[in-house]
Amino acid sequence: MNRTTLTYRIAASGIAFLLVLGEVWAAAAEPSGKAATDMQGEAKAVVRVRAPEAKTPGKLRLDFRHQPWNDVLEWLAEEADLSLQMSPLPGTFNYSDSREHTPAEAINLINGVLLVRGYTLIHRDRMLTVVNLQEGIAPGLVPAIPIERLDGEGEFQFVSVVFTLDKVKPEKAEAEVRKLLSPCGRAELLAASQQLMVTDAAGRVRAIRDVLKRMEPAIQGPAVLQMHMLRYIDPSTALSVLKMLMSEETDVRITMAIDQRRPAVILYGPPEVHEKCRAALEMLDKPQEDLQTRDLKVFQLVNADPSSVTQLLAGLLPKEVMVAPDLRTRSVLVHGPKEALRMVEPMLLRLDEKAEGERAQPGMSYQVRIVWLASGLTEDSPAVADDLKDVLSELSRLGVMEPRQVAQVFVRTNAQGEFVVASSPSFDGRPTEFMATGKVLEQREGFLEMRVSLSAEQEVETELSIRKQKLIDLRTEIDSQPKQYVVLATAPVGKTTSVFVIQVTGN
């Protein structure tokens, strides 16, 4: 059977997105009816006026193969009792799912696929409008909803929400929110009322809401004025170090000064800040003979995240070495014995290296890494590996927010060698069987041609029996540069959205 393939590459980060239409099924059910296909030439669109009837009134079943997008959206609007406004869309839609969905769930599911193609469905009142994201979204088209309704909106549905900024500086909130917006998102500061209006996909707006909540300062004691006496270290040096250490305390009002005569550092702030200052000065304020064996260095980072590097170094270095990040300047401050600092420098250089693409050579062996991510999981699920941050950034641009790691498998193979690897992770609280198979076909001009198959299924208990439900069944071929991340597919499952990523490394 011929298949239609859409490849979406993100040039800025090197992340490749591959959506295989006609081969990705969210459930194992076979579609009813016959698909008329010209096996001698290109696959022809099968015009189906309706998807199969759902057993539950008010619910919909999605079962399409090579269905023109125009027919799919007209059917969806009719079933949802909405008026459709659209210009003709190119291409066809392939999706088979044995589950039943409400009209709102169906709109959200189809919206997730449209978003990858550069379109979106906007539901406002009784109108369903198809928007080409490259042309932008008219400001008055997106529905404004109260924040209480936000959790009930589909992940990919565009909405406008007004946030009241009682405990966060409005300018600071606006700056942070703009970092999280999608290319079509907007943030408008209403300075007079100390509010921020955010327009974006609901999944992203929910993530913004959570970020604004975390920006609210923790409950702290009243600010007090204290003088921290110094014995050995120069007050100006101590002040510079403390300012760097306190750079993360952005939500706390802190005032610092020095008294050269005493000498001392004068600090005005809550008790928690004084305690942090006192602990730092105990390490810094050492006799001259100790200072001859100790040093303070600031390492400027280019690629790595200062907070992640700090956490890693803190677990590797002796306790007498103090490590602190400076997020404003993307640097790491390290203070400790000079011998330890000589060991730190090469470690930081390796951590801050940017991975360079490597050309595969004939006869090489390859390590295949496949990662299953999913949004909508609890915080108990494993966090995503740090080296996937570019993937997370691009996924967030598509509305897949804060995914967690479901499974990660590694397998080694050679050119023309087949591989099989399996795992039994827990997905959404239930045991799941996950398997990946494939073959490295050949290497051409720095690209690896591969055949990849993924499957995942879990047991679902019904009133009468326990059956196997397929979460994904993917078969595709890809061209990938070594070390490049390729997003093979996204698959909505209930309130979650699964994402499957592959990376091949030659050595």
CATH number at residue 174: 3.30.1370.120
Burial class of residue 438, CB neighbours in 10 A (0-12, 13-18, 19+): buried
pLDDT at 323: 82
Is 442's pLDDT higher than 80? no
Q: Which residues of 489-503 are buried (b: 16+ CB within 10 A; e: fewer)?
A: bbbbbeebbbbbbbb
Mean pLDDT over each residue of the chain, to the nearest integer: 77
Residue % of the chain over a pLDDT of 90:
16
Residues 313 and 407 in one domain: no
Is pLDDT at 108 greater than 60 in this prediction?
Answer: yes
* Amino acid present at 80: A
Q: Backbone phi, then psi, for 495, in 5-degree steps? A: -90, 0
Could you tell me the sign of the dihedral formed by the alpha carbons of 269, 275, 279, 285, in that order?
positive
Nearest alpha-carbon partner for 452 in 2, 82, 24, 15: 24
Query: 340 to each of 217, 318, 346, 416, how far by Cα in Å?
Result: 35, 8, 11, 47
- At residue 186's C-alpha, the angle toward residues 184 and 191, to 5°, is 175
Supply the pLDDT for residue 4: 34
Residue 25 lies in a domain: no
In one-letter notation, the amino acid at residue 165 is: L
Asked if residue 369 and residue 344 are part of one domain, the reply reads no
Residue range 218-224: average pLDDT?
A: 68
Residue that is written with structure tokens 């406004």 in the block: 85
Q: Say if 445 falls within a structural domain.
A: yes
Comparing CA positions, the residue from 351, 374, 379 lying closest to residue 472 is: 374
Please tell me whether residues 171 and 302 are part of one structural domain. no
Amino acid identity, residue 185? G
The verdict on 36 and 128 lying in the same domain is yes
pLDDT of residue 507: 61
Residues 6+ apart with CB under 8 A from 279: none
Boundary of a domain, candidates 114, 135, 156: 135
| 282 and 165 together in one domain | no
Could you tell me if 93 and 70 are in contact, meaning their C-beta atoms sit under 8 angstroms apart? no
In this model, does residue 414 exceed pLDDT 50?
Answer: yes
Residue 293 has a pLDDT of: 62
d(CA 283, CA 426): 45
Residue numbers of the domain that contains 45: 31-135
In a domain, 9, yes or no: no
Q: Identify the band that residue 38 occupies on the pLDDT scale cut at 50, 70 and 90.
A: very low
Question: Does residue 8 sit within a domain?
Answer: no
371 and 484 co-located in one domain: yes
Question: How many domains are there within the chain?
Answer: 4
**Does residue 1 fall inside a structural domain?**
no
With a cut of 60, say whether residue 483 has pLDDT above it: yes
Q: Predicted confidence band at 22 (pLDDT cuts at 50, 70, 90)? A: very low
pLDDT of residue 378: 78
Hey, what are 397's tokens? 């641009």
Q: Which two tokens stand for residue 42?
A: 């290109």
Looking at the structure, do residues 483 and 453 belong to the same domain, yes or no?
yes
Question: Which amino acid makes up residue 24?
Answer: V
d(CA 91, CA 69): 6
Question: Domain end: 191, 215, 239, which one?
Answer: 215
Q: Are residues 472 and 390 in the same domain?
A: yes
Task: Assess whether 122 and 153 both reside in one domain.
Answer: no
The reply to whether 371 falls in a domain is: yes
Alpha helix ranges (H) inside 80-153: 103-116
Q: Are residues 384 and 483 in the same domain?
A: yes
Confirm whether 182 is domain-assigned: yes
Q: pLDDT tens digits, residue range 375-384? A: 888 777 788 8
Residue 2 maps to a domain: no
Structure tokens at 23: 């081969």
Check whether residue 344 and residue 462 sit in a common domain. Answer: no
Distance CA 233, CA 211 (A): 39
- Looking at the fold, whether 372 and 392 belong to one and the same domain comes out as yes
The more confidently predicted of residues 155 and 296 is 155
